[in-house]
Amino acid sequence: MLTLKANLIVNNKVKLTTKDSKAFEGVVLPDTNSKKVVLKLDSGYNIGLLISNIKEVKIISKSKKQTSKKETTSKFNKKLPTISILHTGGTIASEVDYETGAVIAKFTPEELLSKFPELKTLCNINSSLIGNMFSEDMRFSHYNKLITAIQKEIKKGTDGIIITHGTDTLAYTSAALAFALEGLNTPILLVGAQRSSDRGSSDAFLNLLGACQYIANSNFSEVGICMHESSDDKSCLILSPTKTKKFHSSRRDAFQSVNGEPIARVFSDGKYENISKIHKTESKLIIRPFKENIKVGILKAHPNMFAKEITNYSAFNGLIIEGTGLGHLPVNETDKETKENSKILKAIKSLSKSIPVFMTTQTTFGRVNLNVYSSGRKLKELEINGDYNDMLSETAFIKMSWLLSNYPKSKVNELMNQNLRGEISKRSSKKKFL
């Protein structure tokens, strides 16, 4: 087994023979599972094989040192704005080397201009690698690193900032930056890609181009998101950092506004139209980062709940509840089968006395109303917070974590109900649904 593993070096081209005499030839790819090997076959497909089922490993060729393609030189043009691109990972600034099967991060100004030469006519580019990670692995410490990097670029005098980011938690990060950067006067757009850049259907180019065009041509100076508007390549939307959700796992138009409208539409030819009013501030930038040890949970209401699910959060600093409908939990004891519901009500009462508990609705669209049904009224009597709000659960999670990081605990419930960054709509409108 040790001999087998020693020959399974990443980027080596090998021929593997299994114990049932099947043969597979391809390039060894990186994999975190030590019990299997993943090969990039000549067909382009990947295959995973258990190492315990491999009889023989034959090395066909050893890993070749990567040779970079000729790169475009980045020359500073005084007539163009300067945009700083901060990379955190994701597919948008990566490309696949089919000789090795490896995904290579492309993040220097020269590499970006080589990959997207159209950017030369729009802006000067500075870029930095903050991290190279899956977005689901991000923690509050990574938000703080981003905040520090943003502050550094603003002090340098950059005209705008683009953050390349994995799509899975992009909306969490946009909300985190919106709350942490108060009095912002510099545009910051988060950009991701649903399709990797080696695919003909990749959305990476238009999303990045749209972000550069909007920063270069508009007076926008807040945090936002730039992603495809539809499945074609006609336009991107500039979306709110606190009222945006990823609705689809793979579609290019996965990101949509919730209980609000997009900020702007950017067309592929560079023209744009503002949809919502642009708010330009003249106040001084105030940085309020996150405490990295803050623990806030998200609990989704569901049938057959148990009180233990509530008490599990007793050691946390705060809790967001995704209630059913208008903001409900199973708290009514109506027969012998619902005795657990009384325990749930008791557990919620105890928890709300020690930590902030905020109600959102798992319907995505609409707002909480704890006054209509008995379930809601019981929760309101326990001073469960969130009545009449239309915040996304993800935004509520980030907001509570940020408030607990920067304000006394006694102020958190009050501030959760205040609209600080456009996260709460004053009125609901039919136009703001789907």
Q: Which residues pair with 322 in a beta bridge?
A: 300, 360
Question: Average pLDDT for residues 183-195, to the nearest whole number?
Answer: 93
In the predicted model, is pLDDT for residue 254 greater than 60?
yes
Domain check: are 116 and 215 in the same one? yes
Three-class secondary structure of residue 96 per DSSP: strand
Within-domain flag for 321:
yes
Within-domain flag for 178:
yes
- Across the chain, mean pLDDT equals 89
Give residue 42's pLDDT: 73
Question: Mind listing the pLDDT tens digit for each residue in 255-286?
Answer: 999 999 999 999 999 899 999 887 776 789 99
Question: Average pLDDT for residues 383-400, to the nearest whole number?
Answer: 97
Question: Mind listing the pLDDT tens digit for each residue in 122-164?
Answer: 999 998 888 878 889 999 999 999 999 999 999 999 999 999 9
State the catalytic residues: 91, 167-168, 246
Distance CA 43, CA 60 (A): 17
Burial class for 232, CB neighbours closer than 10 Å (0-12, 13-18, 19+): exposed
Question: Average pLDDT for residues 409-430, to the nearest whole number?
Answer: 93
Q: Is the dihedral of CA 164, 166, 169, 171 positive or negative?
A: positive
Residue 100: CATH number of its domain: 3.40.50.1170
Give residue 93's pLDDT: 57
In the predicted model, is pLDDT for residue 88 greater than 60?
yes
Question: Average pLDDT for residues 72-98, to the nearest whole number?
Answer: 76
The stretches of 128-218 forming alpha helices (DSSP H) are 140-156, 170-180, 204-217
Give residue 73's pLDDT: 47
Domain check: are 136 and 242 in the same one? yes
Residue 30: CATH number of its domain: 2.30.30.520
Domain check: are 314 and 365 in the same one? yes
Question: Mind listing the pLDDT tens digit for each residue in 207-223?
Answer: 999 999 999 999 999 99
Number of domains in the chain: 3
Give residue 106's pLDDT: 57
Q: How much of the chain, in percent, has pLDDT values that exceed 70? A: 87
The closest of 27, 66, 63, 70 to 47, measured between CA atoms, is 27
Q: Which helix (H) or strand (E) holds 345?
A: helix 339-352
**Domain of 267?**
82-287
Within-domain flag for 323:
yes
In the predicted model, is pLDDT for residue 97 greater than 70?
no
Q: Which amino acid type is present at position 94?
A: S
Q: Which of the four pLDDT bands, split at 50, 70 and 90, describes residue 68?
A: very low
Burial class for 327, CB neighbours closer than 10 Å (0-12, 13-18, 19+): buried
Question: Average pLDDT for residues 298-306, to the nearest whole number?
Answer: 98
Domain check: are 129 and 253 in the same one? yes
Q: Which of the four pLDDT bands, split at 50, 70 and 90, describes residue 206?
A: very high
